Structure 1
Amino acid sequence: MNAVILLSTANTVAQAGVLMIGAGSLLVAGVITTALWKTFEKAGEPGWAALVPIYNTLTLLRIVDKPWWWVLLLLIPYVNLIILVWVLNLLGKRFGKTEGFTVGLLFLPFIFYPQLAWGEATFQRPAQPAV
Protein backbone atom coordinates (compact mmCIF):
# COMPACT_ATOMS: atom_id res chain seq x y z
CA MET A 1 0.00 0.00 0.00
CA ASN A 2 2.82 2.43 0.88
CA ALA A 3 4.56 1.75 -2.43
CA VAL A 4 1.41 2.74 -4.30
CA ILE A 5 1.17 6.02 -2.36
CA LEU A 6 4.85 6.80 -2.94
CA LEU A 7 4.55 6.05 -6.64
CA SER A 8 1.45 8.20 -6.89
CA THR A 9 3.15 11.07 -5.03
CA ALA A 10 6.27 10.86 -7.21
CA ASN A 11 4.10 10.88 -10.33
CA THR A 12 2.23 13.97 -9.11
CA VAL A 13 5.47 15.79 -8.32
CA ALA A 14 6.84 14.96 -11.79
CA GLN A 15 3.65 16.22 -13.44
CA ALA A 16 3.81 19.44 -11.43
CA GLY A 17 7.43 19.92 -12.47
CA VAL A 18 6.59 19.45 -16.14
CA LEU A 19 3.69 21.89 -15.79
CA MET A 20 5.93 24.51 -14.15
CA ILE A 21 8.59 24.15 -16.85
CA GLY A 22 5.93 24.51 -19.54
CA ALA A 23 4.40 27.57 -17.89
CA GLY A 24 7.83 29.13 -17.46
CA SER A 25 8.69 28.52 -21.11
CA LEU A 26 5.44 30.16 -22.20
CA LEU A 27 6.17 33.14 -19.97
CA VAL A 28 9.67 33.58 -21.41
CA ALA A 29 8.34 33.26 -24.99
CA GLY A 30 5.67 35.84 -24.20
CA VAL A 31 8.22 38.29 -22.78
CA ILE A 32 10.49 37.91 -25.83
CA THR A 33 7.59 38.28 -28.30
CA THR A 34 6.22 41.36 -26.52
CA ALA A 35 9.70 42.91 -26.44
CA LEU A 36 10.19 42.11 -30.12
CA TRP A 37 6.83 43.80 -30.87
CA LYS A 38 8.00 47.00 -29.13
CA THR A 39 11.44 46.79 -30.76
CA PHE A 40 9.82 46.56 -34.20
CA GLU A 41 7.70 49.63 -33.40
CA LYS A 42 10.80 51.56 -32.28
CA ALA A 43 12.37 50.73 -35.65
CA GLY A 44 9.33 52.02 -37.54
CA GLU A 45 7.94 48.62 -38.47
CA PRO A 46 4.52 47.21 -37.51
CA GLY A 47 4.64 45.60 -34.07
CA TRP A 48 2.18 42.85 -34.96
CA ALA A 49 4.84 41.45 -37.33
CA ALA A 50 6.48 39.90 -34.26
CA LEU A 51 3.57 37.47 -34.04
CA VAL A 52 3.77 36.08 -37.59
CA PRO A 53 6.33 33.33 -38.20
CA ILE A 54 8.74 33.93 -41.10
CA TYR A 55 7.33 37.45 -41.60
CA ASN A 56 8.91 38.45 -38.27
CA THR A 57 12.27 37.27 -39.62
CA LEU A 58 11.72 39.23 -42.84
CA THR A 59 10.88 42.30 -40.76
CA LEU A 60 14.00 41.82 -38.66
CA LEU A 61 16.09 41.54 -41.84
CA ARG A 62 14.48 44.74 -43.14
CA ILE A 63 15.40 46.53 -39.89
CA VAL A 64 19.06 45.52 -40.26
CA ASP A 65 19.05 46.29 -44.02
CA LYS A 66 19.69 42.78 -45.27
CA PRO A 67 17.97 41.16 -48.29
CA TRP A 68 14.95 38.86 -47.95
CA TRP A 69 16.85 35.84 -49.27
CA TRP A 70 18.86 35.72 -46.04
CA VAL A 71 15.86 33.78 -44.72
CA LEU A 72 17.06 30.95 -46.95
CA LEU A 73 20.51 31.12 -45.34
CA LEU A 74 18.82 30.67 -41.97
CA LEU A 75 17.60 27.27 -43.18
CA ILE A 76 21.11 25.91 -43.79
CA PRO A 77 22.64 24.13 -40.77
CA TYR A 78 25.72 25.84 -39.29
CA VAL A 79 25.39 28.74 -41.74
CA ASN A 80 22.27 29.76 -39.82
CA LEU A 81 24.34 30.22 -36.65
CA ILE A 82 26.68 32.65 -38.36
CA ILE A 83 23.81 34.56 -39.96
CA LEU A 84 21.92 34.69 -36.64
CA VAL A 85 24.90 36.18 -34.80
CA TRP A 86 25.45 38.63 -37.66
CA VAL A 87 21.80 39.77 -37.67
CA LEU A 88 21.71 40.12 -33.87
CA ASN A 89 24.93 42.14 -34.00
CA LEU A 90 23.46 44.45 -36.63
CA LEU A 91 20.26 44.79 -34.58
CA GLY A 92 22.25 45.82 -31.54
CA LYS A 93 24.27 48.29 -33.63
CA ARG A 94 21.05 49.86 -34.97
CA PHE A 95 20.19 50.65 -31.36
CA GLY A 96 23.69 51.90 -30.49
CA LYS A 97 24.80 48.78 -28.61
CA THR A 98 28.14 46.94 -28.61
CA GLU A 99 29.18 43.38 -29.41
CA GLY A 100 28.74 42.49 -25.75
CA PHE A 101 25.05 43.26 -26.14
CA THR A 102 25.00 40.89 -29.12
CA VAL A 103 26.20 38.10 -26.84
CA GLY A 104 23.40 39.00 -24.43
CA LEU A 105 20.79 38.92 -27.21
CA LEU A 106 22.06 35.49 -28.21
CA PHE A 107 22.29 33.80 -24.81
CA LEU A 108 19.89 35.79 -22.59
CA PRO A 109 17.20 37.10 -24.96
CA PHE A 110 14.57 37.34 -22.19
CA ILE A 111 16.75 40.00 -20.53
CA PHE A 112 18.29 41.83 -23.49
CA TYR A 113 15.29 42.12 -25.85
CA PRO A 114 13.28 43.95 -23.15
CA GLN A 115 16.25 46.30 -22.73
CA LEU A 116 15.99 47.16 -26.42
CA ALA A 117 12.24 47.48 -26.25
CA TRP A 118 11.73 49.51 -23.08
CA GLY A 119 15.20 50.86 -22.44
CA GLU A 120 16.60 54.20 -23.50
CA ALA A 121 18.07 52.85 -26.74
CA THR A 122 16.82 54.60 -29.86
CA PHE A 123 16.78 53.23 -33.37
CA GLN A 124 19.44 54.68 -35.67
CA ARG A 125 19.06 54.14 -39.40
CA PRO A 126 22.52 54.03 -41.03
CA ALA A 127 23.48 57.01 -43.16
CA GLN A 128 22.61 56.56 -46.81
CA PRO A 129 25.57 56.93 -49.19
CA ALA A 130 25.56 60.04 -51.37
CA VAL A 131 24.46 59.40 -54.93
Structure 2
Amino acid sequence: MSKTRRPRSDSAAYAAQAHQNAAQGAIEPPAYVTLPEPCRPFWQAIVTSRARDTWTDSDLVIAANMARVQHAIEAADVGSDDHAKLTRLALALSRSLSVHTTATAGRAANLVGASTAERKARQDEGDDLIPRLRAV
Protein backbone atom coordinates (compact mmCIF):
# COMPACT_ATOMS: atom_id res chain seq x y z
CA MET A 1 0.00 0.00 0.00
CA SER A 2 1.56 3.28 -1.09
CA LYS A 3 1.05 6.41 0.95
CA THR A 4 0.83 9.84 -0.70
CA ARG A 5 3.61 12.00 0.64
CA ARG A 6 3.00 15.57 1.66
CA PRO A 7 5.46 18.14 0.32
CA ARG A 8 8.27 19.27 2.60
CA SER A 9 7.36 22.32 4.66
CA ASP A 10 10.22 24.31 3.11
CA SER A 11 9.23 23.56 -0.50
CA ALA A 12 7.56 25.74 -3.11
CA ALA A 13 4.75 23.17 -3.41
CA TYR A 14 4.05 23.47 0.32
CA ALA A 15 4.01 27.27 0.11
CA ALA A 16 1.60 27.13 -2.83
CA GLN A 17 -0.69 24.72 -0.93
CA ALA A 18 -0.61 26.98 2.14
CA HIS A 19 -1.71 29.97 0.02
CA GLN A 20 -4.49 27.92 -1.57
CA ASN A 21 -5.66 26.79 1.87
CA ALA A 22 -5.67 30.37 3.20
CA ALA A 23 -7.63 31.64 0.19
CA GLN A 24 -10.46 29.17 0.80
CA GLY A 25 -11.68 30.85 3.97
CA ALA A 26 -13.11 29.27 7.08
CA ILE A 27 -13.72 25.55 7.39
CA GLU A 28 -17.36 24.71 8.13
CA PRO A 29 -18.58 21.61 9.96
CA PRO A 30 -19.96 18.84 7.74
CA ALA A 31 -23.66 19.36 6.90
CA TYR A 32 -24.71 16.46 9.13
CA VAL A 33 -23.09 18.00 12.24
CA THR A 34 -24.98 20.51 14.37
CA LEU A 35 -22.73 23.08 16.00
CA PRO A 36 -24.45 25.66 18.24
CA GLU A 37 -23.42 29.28 17.65
CA PRO A 38 -21.76 29.70 21.11
CA CYS A 39 -19.35 26.88 20.14
CA ARG A 40 -18.18 28.65 16.95
CA PRO A 41 -15.22 30.54 18.49
CA PHE A 42 -13.86 27.24 19.82
CA TRP A 43 -14.46 25.60 16.42
CA GLN A 44 -12.50 28.35 14.66
CA ALA A 45 -9.59 28.04 17.09
CA ILE A 46 -9.50 24.28 16.59
CA VAL A 47 -9.73 24.10 12.80
CA THR A 48 -7.22 26.89 12.21
CA SER A 49 -4.56 25.12 14.28
CA ARG A 50 -3.87 22.65 11.46
CA ALA A 51 -3.43 23.01 7.72
CA ARG A 52 -6.80 23.04 5.96
CA ASP A 53 -5.94 20.20 3.58
CA THR A 54 -5.17 17.83 6.47
CA TRP A 55 -8.75 17.76 7.82
CA THR A 56 -11.00 14.80 7.00
CA ASP A 57 -14.76 14.74 7.59
CA SER A 58 -14.15 12.35 10.48
CA ASP A 59 -11.69 14.83 12.01
CA LEU A 60 -14.24 17.63 11.63
CA VAL A 61 -16.85 15.62 13.53
CA ILE A 62 -14.35 15.19 16.39
CA ALA A 63 -13.45 18.89 16.16
CA ALA A 64 -17.13 19.80 16.58
CA ASN A 65 -17.31 17.57 19.65
CA MET A 66 -14.19 19.24 21.02
CA ALA A 67 -15.72 22.69 20.42
CA ARG A 68 -18.83 21.65 22.36
CA VAL A 69 -16.67 20.30 25.20
CA GLN A 70 -14.62 23.50 25.38
CA HIS A 71 -17.81 25.55 25.50
CA ALA A 72 -19.12 23.31 28.30
CA ILE A 73 -15.87 23.85 30.24
CA GLU A 74 -16.65 27.58 30.29
CA ALA A 75 -19.95 26.88 32.08
CA ALA A 76 -18.54 24.35 34.58
CA ASP A 77 -17.37 25.54 37.98
CA VAL A 78 -13.57 25.56 38.11
CA GLY A 79 -12.38 22.76 40.34
CA SER A 80 -15.62 20.79 40.10
CA ASP A 81 -15.72 17.16 39.00
CA ASP A 82 -17.49 18.21 35.80
CA HIS A 83 -14.77 20.73 35.01
CA ALA A 84 -12.05 18.11 35.57
CA LYS A 85 -13.82 15.50 33.44
CA LEU A 86 -14.47 17.93 30.62
CA THR A 87 -10.87 19.15 30.71
CA ARG A 88 -9.56 15.58 30.46
CA LEU A 89 -11.94 14.93 27.56
CA ALA A 90 -10.80 18.10 25.76
CA LEU A 91 -7.15 17.05 26.17
CA ALA A 92 -7.90 13.57 24.81
CA LEU A 93 -9.74 15.04 21.82
CA SER A 94 -6.89 17.48 21.14
CA ARG A 95 -4.43 14.57 21.08
CA SER A 96 -6.73 12.61 18.79
CA LEU A 97 -6.87 15.54 16.36
CA SER A 98 -3.18 16.46 16.72
CA VAL A 99 -4.07 20.03 17.70
CA HIS A 100 -2.28 19.99 21.06
CA THR A 101 0.73 22.24 21.65
CA THR A 102 3.39 19.66 20.84
CA ALA A 103 1.74 18.90 17.49
CA THR A 104 1.14 22.53 16.49
CA ALA A 105 4.10 24.41 17.99
CA GLY A 106 6.67 21.71 18.64
CA ARG A 107 8.37 20.24 21.67
CA ALA A 108 8.74 22.48 24.72
CA ALA A 109 12.54 22.34 24.44
CA ASN A 110 12.29 23.82 20.93
CA LEU A 111 9.97 26.63 22.07
CA VAL A 112 12.47 28.11 24.52
CA GLY A 113 14.36 29.98 21.81
CA ALA A 114 11.21 31.48 20.31
CA SER A 115 9.87 32.49 23.72
CA THR A 116 13.18 34.03 24.72
CA ALA A 117 13.43 35.96 21.44
CA GLU A 118 9.89 37.32 21.80
CA ARG A 119 10.46 38.31 25.43
CA LYS A 120 13.66 40.16 24.47
CA ALA A 121 11.88 41.85 21.57
CA ARG A 122 9.20 43.15 23.96
CA GLN A 123 11.88 44.62 26.24
CA ASP A 124 14.17 45.90 23.48
CA GLU A 125 13.89 49.58 22.61
CA GLY A 126 15.69 48.73 19.36
CA ASP A 127 16.86 51.19 16.78
CA ASP A 128 15.44 52.92 13.72
CA LEU A 129 16.44 50.08 11.37
CA ILE A 130 14.06 47.48 12.88
CA PRO A 131 10.38 48.39 12.76
CA ARG A 132 8.46 47.69 15.95
CA LEU A 133 4.76 47.52 16.67
CA ARG A 134 3.86 49.80 19.53
CA ALA A 135 0.63 50.19 21.44
CA VAL A 136 -0.98 53.52 20.74
> What's the TM-score, normalizing by structure 1?
0.27
> What's the TM-score, normalizing by structure 2?
0.26
Query: Could you say which structure has the greater relative contact order, defined with CA pairs below 8 angstroms and 6 or more residues apart?
Result: 1
Rg larger in 1 or in 2?
Answer: 1
Q: Which has the higher helix share?
A: 1
